[in-house]
Amino acid sequence: MFSEIFARRYQYELKSHLKKKFGCVFEGIAKTGNPTLLNQIYTELYITEGGTGNVNAKHEIRQIETASRRLHKKETTIRQEDIFKAPPGRDKPIRTVLTKGVAGIGKTVLTQKFTLDWAEKKANQNFQFIFPFAFRELNVLKENKFSLVELVNLFFSEIREVRICSFEDFQVLFIFDGLDECRLPLDFHNTELITDPRKSTSVDALLINLIKGNLLPSAQLWITTRPAAANQIPAECVDMVTEVRGFTDPQKEEYFRKRSRDEKQASRIISHIKTSRSLHIMCHIPVFCWITATVLEDVLKTREGGQLPKTLTDMYIHFLVVQTKVKKFKYDGGAETDPHWSPESRKMVESLGKLAFDQLQKDNLIFYESDLTECGIDITAASVYSGVFTQIFREERGLYQDKVFCFIHLSVQEFLAALHVHLTFINTGVNLLEEEQNTSRNFETRQHTGSQFYESAVEKALQSPNGLLDLFLRFLLGLSLQSNQNLLQGLLTQTGNGSQINQETVQYIKKKLNENLSVEKSINLFHCLNELNDRAIVEKIQQSLSSEQFSTDELSPAQWSALVFILLSSEEDLEVFDLKKYSASEDALLRLLPVVKASQKALLNSCNLSERSCEALSSVLKMEDCELTAIDLSNNNLRDSGVKLISAGLKHPHITLKTIRLSGCDLSQRSCEIISSILSSQFCSLIELDLSNNDLAKSGVKVLSSGLGSLHCKLETLRSGFYIFFLRKLAVMLCVCRLSGCLITDEACGFLISALSSNPSYLRELDLSYNHPGQEQVKQLSAILKDPSWGLHTLRYREVFCSHSQSLI
């Protein structure tokens, strides 16, 4: 057995090893450069608790833009040291945590900081051992067999003095970083059962049995992943899902001030980022903050008083130029002012661009030697590239010194891919986005087809699933600007007639905006117009919004899309959306649904809505990123059919709605049946419901009582006619029930008593004054008042007040 003495010795060696491994970071740098202490540069990340492990196939730029709007919402946040602490009210301990986050958001650094704090005895001391693994390193062991003990000793071979041989008696945490990079066959349904940590099997079988709890059920696991790969782990194997959202606005500022020793420079950078919405959104990603700081520090130093980059394309071109200047100065012995596009630099950028484009089409973020060989890149050359362009292209060494390559961030890969497509077209006339290539080298032909080239790129991006080419398109169109091409002089052997082509492209995009596009596609096209320096539509709508005469009566589809873009891009919190501010109409609601989805409270009362609106709202409520907690649909002719349509959304697993008002919506008993079904749903989250001013009748009360009696009912307040039911969250039933003057008869009172009886200990107060409950029900209520199993303290009948010791008769 692994004795206590050996365990302490192993723990000491392990902590020493991990302090060396994670004590320093190279921001964006692989093998060279000045390391930075992790504790010095680390900035707390915004981490939320909750959510699901469901796959999110949207392009991550869309997820970033959505997340940037949610940072102002009230969510359950969690500190990194509390990841494994069970939240209040949860008895079951947390074994497995799945942490989601887009590329570059800080997942890896988060796990490194957690591990470093443990190694330095600052936090997380409840664990005796922490073993961090990266899936990209596990991939190379695909054909090998190990026991869990052997795998740990292999990965932590630096600890030579003592080897671990047992886990069962210790509190152990396994960290598996980068599930999205996993190339192992994780088949959770057809894998052999392994319970012995000393038995050899395939690496994927080890992982599956560890995750399922067959192997070391006492161990705890932390798995990180990009959202698209989250569903590889079955939901029943995950105890908590967390999400890294990156930096909040104050955290961005903290990062820039920590990085820069020049307070004035840091303030200038922060102020500039706030002037560009696209840059401000992207700075939620720590890696983009680093890219931005790298560029702006250089521009402020070399171009005093000059214009700072405002678009993403401009920023990434400057980033490429800065790295090329560093290469020229550091490796070629030239001055920083020398022309930086040497033949060698051009060849490197062209090769990296081809690799970026080829692998982007395969949705690959990490590359092994075989991937590079397929792209025609020599392995030796790849190592040279990673040594020279250290802040663009990384080479890492895993087990057995196997080489793993990647770009520092997905956005850098997409920029270089767009640059490759742009260079290929400008220099050769070949459109890599078309299946049938036009290989004409005639300049006039290229000139003639320039606008067609960009139009075809727009079409390709619009047709790509889930916005996979959104950011690529922004970069490609941004590269068509003459001002951006001037920055790349020396890399481009030719430039096009940018002005005319740009205008044609702008007009084409505006034409597409007048078509029936999804909101995500429309928003990306507005970002594309921003990259082309055309903000005419947006500025016109912004001016109209600020005037008192704003009207939506004559807005074109493109202008409606611009309005949505403006509202969603606004820095103001979308807490309350009032449809009447724009137009009290169904057409306006359907066009502004994306804004409704992003708001917390939607005021849609008295807006001439019909069943069509209910169907649309039901779809919105089912969306995982829906923020709505309250909807007011009062005084619309929705009828029973409308309630039926919206009910599907109210019973959906993703529902977040707490309040819905349906006063004066022409509802009948049939709606009570539907609502009773909603209240009985395990997913229904309603705590307030308004059904007043509807002809529900006595039979409606009977049907509604069934839903109120459900153990799943969470209602706190129900308004119906002249009465209100008040409930408390400490149970799933009524705590205070006030029904004064509601014309309640003996039959209706019977239904009510039956519903209240399902959880008798929670009712504290009952008001039935000014009603006609009948003698039989009066007797029942009298007995209830004396029954110790009921929690009733106060009862009102007619004009008489009764205390706990009083009877009704």
Task: Report the DSSP pairing between strands 145-146 and 201-202.
Answer: antiparallel
- How many CB atoms are closer than 10 A to CB 453? 24
Buried b (16+ CB within 10 A) or exposed e, 390-415: bbbbbbbebeeeebbbbbbbbbbbbb
Exposed/middle/buried for residue 206 (C-beta within 10 Å: 0-12, 13-18, 19+): buried
Class of domain 667-808: alpha beta
| pLDDT for residue 458 | 95
| pLDDT for residue 71 | 53
- How many CB atoms are closer than 10 A to CB 729? 10
- DSSP letter at 76 equals -
Cα(109)–Cα(558) distance, integer angstroms: 42
pLDDT, one tens digit per residue, over 221-249 is 999 998 888 889 998 999 999 988 888 88
- DSSP letter at 791 equals -
Nearest to 282 by CA among 306, 309, 321: 309
Annotated domain spans of the chain: 1-246, 249-307, 309-435+448-563, 667-808
Residue 626 to residues 522, 526, 656, 809: CA-CA distances in angstroms? Answer: 19, 22, 8, 52
| pLDDT for residue 546 | 81
Q: What is the 3-state secondary structure (H, E, C) of 185-240?
A: CCCCCCCCCCCCCCCCEEHHHHHHHHHHCCCCCCCEEEEEECHHHHHHCCHHHCCE
3-state SS, residue 741: coil
What is the distance between the terminal CA atoms of the chain, rounded to a whole angstrom?
76
Specify which residues 37 forms β-bridges with: 24
pLDDT, one tens digit per residue, over 59-75 is 666 677 666 655 555 56
Residue ranges of the chain whose pLDDT lies below 70? 1-3, 25-36, 41, 50-62, 65-75, 159-162, 303-306, 326-340, 381-402, 435-448, 494-498, 571-573, 697-698, 720-744, 748, 751, 755-756, 758-759, 761-764, 797-809
| pLDDT for residue 213 | 94
| pLDDT for residue 724 | 42
Nearest to 276 by CA among 259, 287, 286, 288: 288
| pLDDT for residue 649 | 92
Superfamily name and number for 1-246: P-loop containing nucleotide triphosphate hydrolases (3.40.50.300)
| pLDDT for residue 731 | 34
